[in-house]
Amino acid sequence: MEGMAPYHIDKFFKEISKNLPDHCDSKQIKSIADNIMVLYNAKLKKEKSEDKNVKKTKAVLKGGGGKGYDRNNNVAMINDVMGAEGDIEEYGAEEVGFKRE
């Protein structure tokens, strides 16, 4: 159907499928449904691969794209990098924070 706008294709197939039980047995209907599922799965796979490519390019532009680049909650590493060794507070008898060994 080259050159035709697909405005009501879904309605067209729904209307055709209404009369299938009157003219086909269960094996024929199953064969039709399986064929449509194959087409659906192929189209879905193609759309997902296109979406994945778009997401990768956006992530690269963002700067890294991995979860490791978004946030670092490692307190020992932050203290080491920020030079917070002398700022360790005491909580009772236990020390709060990490010391570099």
Locate 73 and state its tokens. Answer: 């909650």
Q: Could you tell me which residue, 84 or 29, shows the higher pLDDT?
A: 29
What single DSSP character describes residue 32? Answer: H
- Residue 62: count other Cβ atoms within 10 Å of its Cβ: 10
Which pTM value belongs to this model? Answer: 0.45
Residue pair 36/10 in contact (Cβ under 8 Å)? The answer is no
pLDDT at 47 (0 to 100): 92
Tell me the per-residue pLDDT of 33-87, one tens digit each, with 9 for 90 and over.
999 999 999 999 999 998 887 766 555 555 555 555 556 667 777 777 777 655 5
Locate 13 and state its tokens. Answer: 């197939």
